[in-house]
Amino acid sequence: MRVLAAMSGGVDSAVAAARAVDAGHEVVGVHLALSRMPGTLRTGSRGCCTIEDSRDAHRVAGMLGIPFYVWDFSERFKADVVDDFVAEYSQGRTPNPCMRCNEKIKFAALLDRAIALGFDAVATGHYAEIARDGDGEPELHRGLDLNKDQSYVLGVLTQEQLRHCLFPIGASASKAEVRAEARERGFPVADKPDSYDICFIPDGDTKAWLSDKIPMRPGLITDADGHVLGEHEGAMTYTVGQRRGLRIERPADDGKPRYVLAVDPRENTVTVGPRKALSVDRLDGIRTSWCGAPPADVGYAESAAIDCEVQIRAHADPVPARMWLGEHIAEAEDAEATDPEGITPPRSRPPGRLMHVATALPLSGVAPGQTMVIYRGSRVLGQSTIDRTHRSAAAV
């Protein structure tokens, strides 16, 4: 096969490209330039897709003897990832930019261009595996090393995209094994630190970064009964579950910490309360998509729900749940007002199929805008963006 190896400049993508070469594929390396700031350099393990990363990827490609190119996707990245990130926060949601990057850049823009140029597949350094069902169709499964499993951030991939994906390191026993292989191959990135945090906010200060992008207005911090407890400088810089930096003037009656329960950008308010009030056991999702073939037995009513597991963060534990589908929103609309048991405010709903999930155990600190990925065992069924949450009995 003709394979385009996406080379980020890290150890995982370097070994993935090497294994694709070893498998006999005709491999071409490509690094995605996602920022036009020429002075951008990695700071420790923060950030990715920097000039330093591009040079590291180029060196590895040279050692493998494969062609190497840098593709400028900075405009597409800004529009589909950065601007989306800002827009979501302005609506009081907490987005996952890595999900959006995989959906819009690495497995849409990159894959589309690769196929147009005659490549059969794109190989990346993700820890995930692709299996085939009885009809030969691809299924996405967790990587062998559950500590490094990245199937969650790949939950946005479609069946057609999976047909053109290779994850050569998904069956690796551990990250240590991948690093050891990189050392044996003499790769200079063998001991390079993993990147973390948001790549376009390399200093990790999301609040300060957002303050430059979203007009901030001072507002009130209240409890669930509407009592004013303090003031904030901008509601959009808070997220559900946050504890630090609240600057509450009046302590809680029980002396325990308070947490952000809801952010309402329309009223410019932040609602706080005790930790137990973060407990939810019902999630409503928008922007639903299936990762591979959709499950044939999923129903459109709670009585026809299927058993599954739901994961709400990249490294969270999956929780047993029941999942069913809701109506299809034809056009963008405002969500109806929150019912008395809900804890999230109304917000704009984009078109698409709704997904409903009821968890067997309560979840804590779930924010609208997060992605819930649905599993059956090791297989990813699909994903949906959390739009509303509902309190569990334990929180009442």
Active-site entry in 98, 199, 291, 308: 199
How sure is the predictor about 341, in pLDDT bands with cuts at 50, 70 and 90? very low
**120-130: pLDDT as tens digits:** 999 999 999 99
Kindly list the structural domains of the chain, giving each domain's residue range(s) and its CATH number in brackets, ordered by start. 2-184 (3.40.50.620), 215-273 (2.30.30.280), 277-395 (2.40.30.10)
For residue 16, pLDDT beyond 50: yes
Residue 101 bears catalytic tag: yes
| Residue 199: predicted pLDDT | 82
Please tell me the predicted confidence (pLDDT) of residue 197. 67
Closest CA relative to residue 357, chosen from 381, 333, 316, 324: 324
State how far Cα 297 lies from the chain centre: 26
What global pTM score does this model have? Answer: 0.88
Residue 269 pLDDT? 94
The pLDDT of residue 356 = 96
pLDDT of residue 393: 66
**pLDDT band for position 248 (50/70/90)?**
confident
The whole-angstrom separation of Cα 45 and Cα 290 is 33
> Of the given ranges (148-162, 220-234, 382-396), which has the lowest mean pLDDT?
382-396
Q: Is the pLDDT of residue 332 over 60?
A: no
- The reported pLDDT for the residue numbered 44 is 46
Query: Does the annotation count 291 as an active-site position?
Result: no
Q: Tell me the pLDDT tens digit for each residue of 185-242.
A: 999 999 998 876 688 887 778 888 888 888 889 999 999 999 999 999 889 888 999 9
Average pLDDT over the chain reads 88
Q: pLDDT at position 176, please?
A: 94
Q: Which of 101, 165, 291, 308 is catalytic?
A: 101
Confidence of residue 250 (pLDDT cuts 50, 70, 90): confident
User: Is residue 337 very low, low, confident or very high in pLDDT (cuts 50, 70, 90)?
Assistant: very low
pLDDT recorded at residue 394: 58
Burial string for 286-304 (b: 16+ CB within 10 Å, else e) reads bbbbbbbeebeebeeeeee
* Encoded amino acid at 309, one letter: E
CA dihedral 161, 162, 166, 167 (to 10 degrees): 120
pLDDT at position 201: 84
Quick: pLDDT tens for 32-48.
998 765 444 444 444 45
Lowest mean pLDDT among 110-114, 369-373, 387-391: 387-391
Distance CA(299)–CA(269), nearest Å, equals 37
- What is the side-by-side strand order in the sheet with 219-222? 228-232, 219-222, 269-273, 259-264
